[in-house]
Amino acid sequence: MALEGADFVVLAVPSQTLRVNLAQWRDDIAPDTTLLSLAKGIESGTLMRMSQVVGQVTGADRNRIAVLSGPNLAREIAAGQPAATVIACPDSTRAIQIQKSCATGYFRPYTNTDVVGCEIGGACKNVIALACGMAAGVGLGDNTVASIITRGLAEIIRLGTALGAKPGTWQVWRGWAISSPPARRRSRAIGPSASASARWDARERAGGHARSGGRRSQILHVGAGTRRQLRRRDAPHRRGASRLSRGMSVQDAIGLLLGRRVKPE
């Protein structure tokens, strides 16, 4: 079997199929194998992070479960272009082992123990990048996109902190803004159709990045609305992206964002 004797098992499948896929493999995974999830997302229905799904399906102790996340574009990494990432695991020894195994001359992994922060950052960033793509797609400029990135990051920090992420983790996610311009280009194709209030199922044909961002915005919006500690957290961009995914036009969403009461930061 491919998994026999493996020190690490890398789970590189879409977030919404992770549970089904892992259920087929769990019996072949050794009791002390480290499980590394590359999936960024929140499971629809359960609202679980990927590490939680892995733990529930396999019964693995949380110290065996690691996640990899950061401003990483797979195509550029495959081309050998320099990139950095974060490997988070409650067991720092396991995190360091993974770090040493995947470090190369062009790929530099860092480690920390904040699994919650890394997963929330990874799950939320495509939602904000999708909003940037829509803005660019309807002809809005760098001022608008920079504002979305800045305020979107503030929302991610509020959400992650409410869920137990460590404050220092957000210094890592400030680098996420670097990956937003290429992500924005991938989302750009849906801008014109969004401005015409086209339904999301038509917009999804723009590509996988748009699909993941749209689906994720809905899941995060529902999840925040059902968890008591999140209900009072201000998240206008997340709400806006969720409404866009249900058919609202970009211009209407912008009107709602800018029409809110002004306040101090």
User: Is 1 a domain residue?
Assistant: no
Whether residues 124 and 224 share a domain: the answer is yes
- Is it the case that residue 176 has pLDDT exceeding 90? no
Check if the beta carbon of residue 89 is closer than 8 Å to that of residue 62: no
Residue with tokens 């102790």: 61
Least reliable range by pLDDT among 27-31, 48-52, 209-213, 232-236: 209-213
Token representation of residue 16: 């919404």
What per-residue confidence (pLDDT) applies to 117?
Answer: 92
Q: How far apart are CA 181 and CA 136, in angstroms?
A: 10
Same domain, 99 and 143: no
Supply the range of the domain harboring residue 205: 118-258
Average pLDDT over residues 182-201: 47
The answer to whether residue 157 sits within a structural domain is yes
106 shares its domain with 165: no
Alpha helices in the chain (DSSP H): 18-25, 50-58, 74-78, 92-102, 115-137, 142-162, 169-173, 176-187, 191-195, 200-203, 208-226, 236-245, 250-258
Q: Which of 113, 132, 156 is the last residue of a domain?
A: 113
182 and 85 together in one domain: no
Are the C-beta atoms of 216 and 42 separated by less than 8 Å?
yes
Task: List, for residues 31-79, the tens digit of each pLDDT value.
Answer: 999 999 999 888 988 889 999 999 999 999 999 999 998 878 888 999 9
Is 168 part of a structural domain of the chain?
A: yes
Instruction: Indicate the pTM of the whole model.
Output: 0.77
Given a cut of 50, whether residue 224 has pLDDT beyond it is: no
Of 40, 24, 23, 30, residue with least CA distance to 8: 30
pLDDT at 138: 78
Q: Is the domain of 254 the same as that of 129?
A: yes
Tens digits of residue pLDDT in 79-126 = 999 999 999 999 999 999 999 999 999 999 999 999 999 999 888 877
Same domain, 202 and 160: yes
pLDDT at 184 > cutoff 70: no
Burial profile 30-69: b = 16 or more Cβ within 10 angstroms, e = fewer: eeebbbbbbbbbbbeeeebbbbbbbbebbebeeebbbbbb
Active site residues per annotation: 125
Are 65 and 162 in the same domain? Answer: no
Question: What is the number of other CB atoms lying within 10 angstroms of the CB of residue 93?
Answer: 10
Confidence of residue 210 (pLDDT cuts 50, 70, 90): very low
pLDDT digits (tens, 9 = 90+) for 133-144: 777 777 888 888
Assigned token pair, 179 = 């990956």
Question: Do strands 65-69 and 83-88 pair parallel, antiparallel, or not at all (unpaired)?
Answer: antiparallel
pLDDT of 198 > 90? The answer is no
Residue 136 falls within a domain, yes or no?
Answer: yes
- How many domains does the structure of the chain reveal? 2
Beta bridge partners of 9: 35
Does the residue 3 lie in any domain?
no
